[in-house]
Amino acid sequence: KTPELTPVAIQAGLYLARRLFGGDKEAMDYQNVCTTVFTPIEYACVGLSEEDAVAKYGQNNIEVYHREFVPLEWSLSMSRSHNAAYTKVIVDKSPQENVLGIHYVGPNAGEVMQGYGTSMKQGLTLKTLTDTVGIHPTSSEEIVTLSITKSSGEDAAAGGC
């Protein structure tokens, strides 16, 4: 599936122009394009959805790490005290534990996700992700500190700070 987004079309056009007029041979890479939905609670993702990962690799060959949390700006404003943000990372169960997809629902989703898109293009693994020291207190920190898996049955709701 090719994302039908303006930035994708612009990038594809640049690659095409380079091939047609500059002698370049490189084609556009449509894998791991970040996508954001700019709704009141934003959603952003890069890579495969959980459903697509199951279809491609099989349910027994993936693991999903996830967490609900309350972003700092929501805690301070009390405007969304009843809502939680959510993030999940889908990995394959190979020895490398390659990251297949990252999903985030919460404030500034596009800003949070952009850097992970670059990492995904470089072959991000779970170890590299979790070895990253998060910036505290940020929503993006939640992605690099994930430890609860769906298969564990543990509650994904955050507790404490």
Three-state DSSP class for 95?
coil
Nearest alpha-carbon partner for 126 in 104, 101, 155 = 101
pLDDT for residue 159 is more than 80: no
Q: pLDDT tens-digit profile of 137-148? A: 999 999 999 999
Q: Are residues 54 and 14 in the same domain?
A: no
82 touches 58 (CB < 8 A):
no
Q: pLDDT tens-digit profile of 36-72? A: 999 989 999 999 999 999 999 999 999 999 999 988 8
Q: Residue 134 domain-assigned?
A: yes
Q: Residue 158 domain-assigned?
A: no
Angle 50-112-44 from CA coordinates, rounded to 5°: 40
What residues make up the domain containing 26?
A: 1-30
Q: Other C-beta atoms within 10 Å of 100: how many?
A: 23
Nearest alpha-carbon partner for 55 in 88, 90, 4, 86 = 90
CA distance 89 to 140: 12
Q: Are residues 47 and 89 in the same domain?
A: yes
pTM of the model: 0.88
Three-state DSSP class for 43?
strand
Please give the structure tokens belonging to residue 12.
Answer: 């594809």
Top-confidence residue, 4 or 27? 27
Q: Residue 15 domain-assigned?
A: yes
pLDDT for residue 110 is more than 80: yes
Q: Which of 66, 82, 103, 136 is catalytic?
A: 136
The total domain count for the chain is 2
Nearest alpha-carbon partner for 36 in 122, 115, 116, 104 = 104
pLDDT of residue 68: 95
Q: Other C-beta atoms within 10 Å of 19: how many?
A: 14
Q: Other C-beta atoms within 10 Å of 41: how many?
A: 14
- CATH code, domain with 135: 3.30.390.30
Q: Is 103 a catalytic residue?
A: no
pLDDT for residue 124 is more than 90: yes
Rg (Cα) of the chain, in Å, rounded?
A: 17
- Judge if the upstream peptide bond of residue 3 is cis by omega within 30 degrees of 0: no
Mean pLDDT of the chain: 91
